[in-house]
Homo-oligomer: A and B are copies of this chain.
């Protein structure tokens, strides 16, 4: 069965909200209640879960703790994923330091930068290495996912290096679409796209400059 990737993204959201409810002491959650928390249609939730099994009890709902475990299993959140980051500037350092304090599903095992002055620094417990060492270090440390935190003009090259070094997935913070071989999965995490979507929403249509129509082509606009 084909599972829409947007359904996968929603599973993450369900898990988060279930955890919040669980922390509040809620033991059983109906799809309606969870849907409320997520701002979503209840049938959507039931359909999404149905892709993977039957996790609820008819007439009752879902046991929060149990469903959390199910989703964590589907998304494979219990494994500690090993990440290597390219770019130890503002964003890269923030990611490294952040990970240090979060007991999450991932851990950084390597960091790389092109700038000599950054090499050797320890950030969040990880030493920054030169990109020439990427191949060796990625393999030695078993990094499975590469994180791109470099300027856009260098992002594709960083991706090529990561792919050559053997990562299977790339989380891309640069605002471009990476070209990668089919066996390497990529996800975009660039927030400037999100910000620009906000700009649009915040701009009333009438305030946009009026565009010229081409030379009298429109006689009767519908």
Contacts and interface: CB of A to CB of B under 8 A. Distances in A.
Interface stretch (A69-77, A108-116, A127-135, A157-165): A69-77
B13 A202 contact: no
Contacts of A77: 196, 199
A154 interface: no
Nearest to A156: B20
A220 interface: no
A198 interface: yes
Given A54-B213, A76-B208, A90-B98, A17 B198 contact: no
A150 to B, nearest CB: 12
Q: Which of A11, A90, A188, A207: most chain B CB closer than 10 A? A: A90
A217 B70 CA distance: 19
Interface in A85-99: 89-91, 93-94, 97-98
A9 B197 contact: yes
Given A53-B211, A94-B91, A202 B185 contact: yes
A171 interface: yes
A206 B210 CA distance: 55
B98 A91 contact: yes
B91 A197 contact: no
A220 to B, nearest CB: 15
A33 to B, nearest CB: 14
Nearest to A199: B76
Contacts of A57: 214
A145 interface: yes
Contacts of A39: 177, 179
Interface string A42-64: 00000000001111010000000
B16 A175 contact: yes
A138 B26 CA distance: 37
A119 interface: no
The 7 A-B residue pairs whose C-beta atoms are closest, nearest first, are: A94-B94, A189-B191, A76-B203, A187-B194, A185-B201, A90-B94, A53-B211
